[in-house]
Amino acid sequence: MQWVIAVCICGLQAKAQTNKTTLNDCFVIAQKNNVLISQAKTSLLARQYSMQAEKQSYLPKVDLLASYSYLSKPLEINLQTVRDGIITGSSLQAVNTANQVYKEITGQNISSDAAQRIESTSRTIINAAYPNYNPPLSKQSYFLAGLGVRQPIYLGNKLRTVQDVATAEFHAGQINLDLVQKDIKFAIALQYIRILYLNAILQKENNIVSSLQKNDNYANEMVKEQILPPYQRNWAKVALITGKTRLSNQQLDKQNALVELNKLLGAPLDSVIIITDTLVYKPTKIDTVNNEFYQTNPAYQFINSKSALAEATVKGSKSFSLPNIFAVGNLNLYQNDLPVTIPPWFVGVEMQWTIFNGTQTVKRVKAAQQLLEESKLATENAKSLLEMQLKVAVNKMQSLQNDVAALDSARQEANTTFSLIEERMRNNLSSPKDVNDALLIKEEIEKAYYTAVLGYYLAMAEYFNIVGTPEKISAYLQ
């Protein structure tokens, strides 16, 4: 990324040294270097990875499970709980053994009385010898290891909801990138138009200062010839000083504008940008847009994308009332010194179903539905807002066109008046102060004219920004 930025900036400086920088050049440089655009691209990439991850949530989850346990005291075998079973089983086993021995000798089974006596005697002996305590095991620590598998079977659309949310976030990230690019282009266009305006003002200010300098020189000559009193010369000198100050301030304004443009381009603030064109008024008729122009505006699309996210949230809220079913399994890899033997593997089905959580699920569904309704209202509001802004921009352009036409006539009259007063001064019929006053009026009318032209092109840039294509303004500035 640093190499790309360096190449773009070197290209900007090389172009500035050989040719002027156009508005389209600024768009290309900002597309590669602007920090906000790079940030939006990074955010989009993160959302893309998240979406790809959620699309794999249907795959089984395999975990390596291991545990080490150290008990505060050894495990004890509770022999008392199985006492009756062991005594009864052992007594019957003794009877069965005696019967087999007797049958082997005599060929007949022992009598029932003998069997009962043997069983009773065995029960008495075993009961007397049976432990009356619980023997502890020798180990206090155990280690287990295995592979656990968990495969979702049915989660009540929860996985689909997570995937829909991730997809909606990714699409929102795409629109966000378009929105950031649109806003950066609009900001660059405004700054570029401002620089063209300052170039025009500087051009006029240079002409004014030149006229003031000539007027000052002429006043000095008239004082030497004792045609003009000295105080009249002082008026000319004061006018020249203030004129040069205004010119210097305008030059600083342009320098600041270039620094701000460099910031928008993502270039070093001291990068050299040559913009020599001036703001020239060209009456144009802009083609009308269709009634659904707002659908191509990334600002509208970004707000509208919230509806898809809200719809996925509604589905997700409803899924909390549905059960979760998993297929589970375990492969035993290692066991040591356990008091019982664990089978090498097992499989099963696991279900988790929340059957009561108060009214949380109901409230969640209602909250999600309200968010969906809110997103729809926001979308409708964005639509009406863009429609309103478009009409205002069109009306503003028409109003400024009228102002430009009126001020153009006024500046022509001011030029004519100034020429007449200047001619009268050469014939000693007017003073240098009269000429300076005429210059100041001419200067103010010129500034008002170019301010109206600036407003016209700013309104045009706003018009294209509302439509969603701020870069189209460049065709009207050539």
Say how far apart CA 12 and CA 29 lie, in whole Å: 8
At residue 14, the pLDDT reads 40
Instruction: Give the contacts of 393 (CB within 8 A, at least 6 positions apart).
Output: 459, 460, 462, 463, 466
* Range in 7-16, 152-161, 369-378 with the lowest mean pLDDT: 7-16
Say how far apart CA 446 and CA 450 lie, in whole Å: 6
Task: State the total domains in the chain.
Answer: 2
Which is more confident, 3 or 70?
Answer: 70
Find, among 44, 86, 281, the residue nearest to 175 by Cα. Answer: 44
In a domain, 354, yes or no: no
> pLDDT tens digits, residue range 348-361?
998 888 888 788 88
The residue among 105, 136, 154 that closes a domain is 154
152 to each of 165, 312, 348, 352, how far by Cα in Å?
Answer: 19, 20, 12, 12
Residues 125 and 233 in one domain: no
Residues 143 and 196 in one domain: no
pLDDT exceeds 90 at position 464: yes
Residues 247 and 187 in one domain: yes
CB burial of residue 387 (10 Å; 0-12, 13-18, 19+): middle
Residues 367 and 460 in one domain: yes
In a domain, 449, yes or no: yes
Residues 130 and 143 in one domain: yes
Residues 301 and 428 in one domain: yes
In a domain, 48, yes or no: yes
415: confidence class by pLDDT, cuts 50, 70, 90: confident
At residue 12, the pLDDT reads 44
CB burial of residue 458 (10 Å; 0-12, 13-18, 19+): buried
In the predicted model, what is the mean pLDDT of residues 58-62? Answer: 85
Find, among 467, 161, 141, 473, the residue nearest to 314 by Cα. Answer: 161
In a domain, 107, yes or no: yes
In a domain, 146, yes or no: yes
Residues 48 and 73 in one domain: no
At residue 228, the pLDDT reads 73
Instruction: Give the contacts of 184 (CB within 8 A, at least 6 positions apart).
Output: 30, 34, 36, 37, 264
At residue 260, the pLDDT reads 94
179: confidence class by pLDDT, cuts 50, 70, 90: very high
pLDDT exceeds 50 at position 17: no
470: confidence class by pLDDT, cuts 50, 70, 90: very high
Q: CATH number of the domain that 460 lies in?
A: 1.20.1600.10
- Token pair in block for residue 12: 């900007």
Q: Structural domain of residue 293, as residue ranges?
A: 2-60+156-323+359-476
At residue 5, the pLDDT reads 34
In a domain, 119, yes or no: yes
Residues 138 and 222 in one domain: no
251: confidence class by pLDDT, cuts 50, 70, 90: very high
> pLDDT tens digits, residue range 269-290?
888 889 999 999 988 888 778 8
In the predicted model, what is the mean pLDDT of residues 418-426? Answer: 80
Measured over the CA atoms of residue 264, residue 268, residue 269 and residue 270, the dihedral's sign is negative
At residue 122, the pLDDT reads 85
Inter-residue contact 31 to 8 (CB < 8 Å): no
pLDDT exceeds 60 at position 7: no
- Residue 228 CB neighbours (<10 A): 21
**HEC profile for 62-126?**
EEEEEEEEECCCCCECCHHHHHHHHHHHHHHHHHHHHHHHHHHHHCCCCCHHHHHHHHHHHHHHH
pLDDT exceeds 60 at position 311: yes
How much is the pTM? 0.78
Residues 216 and 256 in one domain: yes
In a domain, 265, yes or no: yes
Residues 83 and 163 in one domain: no
At residue 11, the pLDDT reads 42
DSSP code at position 470: G
Percent of the chain at pLDDT exceeding 90:
37
Residues 98 and 146 in one domain: yes
The residue among 124, 154, 184 that closes a domain is 154
pLDDT exceeds 60 at position 6: no
- Residue 404 CB neighbours (<10 A): 20
In the predicted model, what is the mean pLDDT of residues 157-165? Answer: 85
In a domain, 164, yes or no: yes
Phi, psi for 385 (deg, rounded to 5): -65, -45
The residue among 95, 119, 154 that closes a domain is 154
404: confidence class by pLDDT, cuts 50, 70, 90: very high
Question: Taking each helix axis from N to C terminus, what angle separates 432-467 and 360-426, rounded to the nearest 10 degrees?
Answer: 150
- Token pair in block for residue 273: 């940008």
5 in helix, strand or coil?
helix
Residues 134 and 171 in one domain: no
β-partners of residue 349 are: 327
Find, among 242, 240, 260, 267, the residue nearest to 198 by Cα. Answer: 260
Say how far apart CA 122 and CA 237 lie, in whole Å: 138
